[in-house]
Structure 1
Amino acid sequence: MINTISIGNYRSLLNLVIPLSNLNVVTGANASGKSNLYKSLRLLAETAQGGVVNALAKEGGLDSTFWAGPENITKKMISGELLVQGGPRQSRARLRLGFSSDDFGYAISLGLPTPSNSAFSLDPEIKKESIWAGNAYRPASLLVDREGSLIKVRSDRSWEVVTQYASSFDSLFSQIADPVRTPEVVSIRDNIRNWRFYDHFRTDADAPARQPQLGTRTPILDNDGHDLAAALQTIKEIGDSQALSEAINDAFPGAKLDILMQNNGRFSVEFSQYGLLRPLSGFELSDGTLRYLLWVAVLLTPRPPPLMVLNEPETSLHPDLLPALAKLIIKASKFTQVWVVSHASRLIAALESSEDCNSIRLEKELGQTKVVGQGILDEPMWAWPDKGK
């Protein structure tokens, strides 16, 4: 489980360090930084997929993601005694992303390249990457260290250079992962690759989830939800079928879910509701009902990931469905670490009723995202391996 995440110099997240638990609920007013925190998690996930540079390009390039305010915010600026103003930068601009668990920690620092004649002179470069043992970085706990193109790993009491020619646009996860030589790299890479992100399922008339689809065993629902029927049938056969029935009944008392298997191997959803004389097909389901079934398939997965991030799961759901959704999320958090980004007060209240819930309320102060009520002594222990460089 990740117990700390830290983001530096990413849009409104100038210096954010957050403690985490199994169930985490991120809330706050519009424009408080919820989306930026969600996007920073996606960027972290891209490091293990080899796509962090392309992901930054889609956001307009690294330079456009940097914090746009002054390098240092003083107390007088906050109190209004001094105008908010900047000056020449005292340190190099770096985008920093990192997290730690009880076993390992990881941090990456990205910056702009030195001026050159290359056509790719605006591509971000990975300036620093580090993996350390334990939940807080210390020089003595460092296991893998990257400085530009040089990567070295700790070997007993000394350091061994793995390569001096690492690609500036590829993470060390893509370049030195070896189960024998660098098992910690493989462990963290595989963990990150198994993170799952779900947001804004399509529920329009042509949504893939409404269409009959070829069915194969599906322990993990796809991001577009096209394999919904197969995923629900998989839960019935190798997952928690009782929890599936309870989730349907909690939201729609007296309702019944069936999966129709056609002769051509295609699966489709049939949903029987109390009072109706025939089941409804996927084409006939309301947007809210279909979206709830998609969340059921996500949260009752027979193969729980190490981290599951749900972005505004309340979208299109009637408020009366939110307690049933919260019950599903709380149940899922017993088997996987869950992040929920939401502004639905009824869902938030239901999730916060769980004693395991870690509520993270964001606010902005002079454009900078902060955690409401978090003082210096409330922050988890965190240090960047490249601080001051």
Structure 2
Amino acid sequence: MITTLAVENYRSLRHLVVALGRLTVVTGANGTGKSSLYRALRLLADSARNGAVAALAREGGLSSTLWAGPEMGAREQRPQGTVRRNPVCLRLGFADDDFGYAVDFGLPQPSRSVFGRDPEIKREVIWSGPFLRPAGLLADRANGALRLRDGRSWLAVPGVLAGYDSMLSEYSDPQRAPEILEVRERIRSWRFYDHLRTDADAPVRQSQVGTRTPVLGPDGADLAAALQTIREIGDAEALDAAVDAAFPGSSLAVEVEAGRILLRFRQPGLLRPFGAAELSDGTVKYLMWVAALLTPRPPALLVLNEPEASLHPDLLRPLAELIVTGSARTQVLVISHSRALVNALEGDLSRIELIKELGETRVDGQGRLDEPPWHWPGR
């Protein structure tokens, strides 16, 4: 379970270190930085797939994603700006129960290449324990050079990593560096949902050739297959309970017609079931959350971005109960601006309230001494 998430100089997140629990909800008014936190976490996940540089390019490049205010923050100095004292950097990191990971993106060296503005990975480290300590360092990549902990000494890895390549994706040695493989696979198991389509032309509303689907796709197109997989190899009772809690007396079934699978939603008082094309956006969206949270193959981390979108207020409490049920099987992070959903969440809940002061995102009520211990690697 991730215990600490740290971001520095990403959009409005000039300096943010937060503790995460088994179930964490991030809330705040519009424009306080919830989406930036979500995108920073996705960018961190992209590092394990060697896609962070491309992800930054899609956001307009490193210069477009960097904190735009004064280097030390608007509260510490005048907002007119001063001479920069530290190198330009965008830092992302996390620590879980066993390992920690941090990556530092910076400006490239001057080059005639047409890709000369691609950001470079200046430092990348893995350590053991809740925060970075020299004694706990296990893998250390400084610019292109990678070294590995070998007892009380260090083993230099031959070759040089390109500035745009992460050691997580480019180095694989289960004997010399099992921790790199472990951290990479943990990050790659993280699952994000924020583009579940429910419009009239959405693929979820069409019949499909179905295969066993233990993981709902990122757009929710394979909903019928995912629900049927839960019924066959997952928690069928929890599936039925989640449907009944939101739509009392209703039931779900998946049928096969001409080799394609069709969702059938039966409601009390009606003579025939409804297909996916006939259901409301809110009903389809809720069923998608059922498939995502009751997955038979839970990830290390499940991140839901504004799950209340398109839902009727009456569905927020059943959704909250579903989220709590899902958090018993995996760590869940919910980013929401719905007070009703947040208030309906019960149990062991960690709550992060974001506010913005002079353009900088902060955690309401959290000072520097209240943050989890965290240290960034130097360059």
C-alpha distance in 2, partners of 1:74/1:324? 42
Matched, 1:219 2:211: no
Partner of 1:119: 114
- Percent sequence identity over aligned pairs: 57
- Structure 1 residue 244: Cα displacement: 0.5
Provide the alpha-carbon RMSD of the alignment: 1.1
Find 2:256's aligned residue among 254, 258, 261. Answer: 261
C-alpha distance in 2, partners of 1:221/1:184? 28
Partner of 1:358: 350
Find 2:275's aligned residue among 269, 272, 281. Answer: 281
C-alpha distance in 2, partners of 1:204/1:89? 48
Change (3 A) 1:20 1:76: closer
Structure 1: gaps spanning 5 or more residues: 78-82
C-alpha distance in 1, partners of 2:69/2:368? 21
* Contact 1:200 1:315 survives alignment (8 Å): no
C-alpha distance in 1, partners of 2:91/2:256? 49
C-alpha distance in 1, partners of 2:294/2:275? 22
Partner of 2:313: 319
SS at match of 2:278: coil
- Structure 1 residue 119: Cα displacement: 1.4
| Counterpart mapping for 1:287-298 below 5 A | 287-298=281-292
Find 2:300's aligned residue among 303, 306, 331. Answer: 306
| Counterpart mapping for 1:85-96 below 5 A | 85-96=80-91
C-alpha distance in 1, partners of 2:75/2:231? 58
* Contact 1:162 1:176 survives alignment (8 Å): no
| Counterpart mapping for 1:1-389 below 5 A | 1-73=1-73, 75=75, 83-264=78-259, 266-351=260-345, 353-354=346-347, 356-386=348-378, 389=379
SS at match of 1:191: helix
* Contact 2:14 2:73 survives alignment (8 Å): no
Q: Which amino acid aligns with 2:135?
A: A
Q: Please give the TM-score of this superposition, normalised by the length of structure 1.
A: 0.96
* Contact 1:217 1:230 survives alignment (8 Å): yes
C-alpha distance in 2, partners of 1:348/1:224? 24
* Contact 2:195 2:218 survives alignment (8 Å): no
C-alpha distance in 2, partners of 1:238/1:101? 29
* Contact 2:172 2:180 survives alignment (8 Å): yes
* Contact 1:130 1:142 survives alignment (8 Å): yes
- Structure 1 residue 163: Cα displacement: 3.0
* Contact 1:104 1:131 survives alignment (8 Å): yes
Q: Please give the TM-score of this superposition, normalised by the length of structure 2.
A: 0.98
- Structure 1 residue 377: Cα displacement: 2.1
- Structure 1 residue 208: Cα displacement: 0.9
- Structure 1 residue 164: Cα displacement: 3.9
- Structure 1 residue 189: Cα displacement: 0.3
C-alpha distance in 1, partners of 2:23/2:192? 15
Structure 2: gaps spanning 5 or more residues: none
C-alpha distance in 2, partners of 1:131/1:328? 34
* Contact 1:203 1:209 survives alignment (8 Å): yes
- Structure 1 residue 75: Cα displacement: 4.9
- Structure 1 residue 120: Cα displacement: 1.1
> Relative to structure 2, which stretch is displaced further, 373-382 or 10-19?
373-382
C-alpha distance in 1, partners of 2:64/2:284? 37
Q: Which amino acid aligns with 1:282?
A: A
